[in-house]
Amino acid sequence: MMMLMTSITISFLLPMIVMLLATTLSKKSINDREKSSPFECGFDPKSSARMPFSIQFFLIAVIFLIFDVEIALILPIVIIMKTSNITVWTLSTMLFIIILLVGLYYEWNQGALKWAN
């Protein structure tokens, strides 16, 4: 039991320390307008330096990533089937797939999968 508590404590403290170090070390000390503007040989920029980004493309990419990770999680489930209880395996697999399908249905209902408006 002590070993479990120690590993849980370490698994929470180590990422917290790394995140705190990253936030303190990554702070910009000087916010200068000239340093944050794009450099074009000393002239004022002719157009915006930032290109417009499609939110629909971003949402489709995130949904693709979610289902890509889903495939990586489903493949070992087939291998585990041979060594586990078939009832527990079926229930856990179906629960996993149902959660993903409910999420997909929610995204579809919200209109995230429609490319053109």
Residue 74 lies in a domain: yes
What residues of the chain score a pLDDT lower than 50? none
Residue 8 lies in a domain: no
Domain that holds residue 88: 66-110
- The total number of structural domains that make up the chain: 1
Q: Do 110 and 56 meet the contact criterion of CB atoms below 8 Å apart?
A: no
Residue 77 lies in a domain: yes
This prediction has a pTM of 0.49
Residue 39 lies in a domain: no
Residue 106 lies in a domain: yes
What pLDDT score does 26 carry? 78
Residue 86 lies in a domain: yes
Residue 28 lies in a domain: no
* Angle CA 104–64–23, to nearest 5: 105
Q: Do 111 and 56 meet the contact criterion of CB atoms below 8 Å apart?
A: no
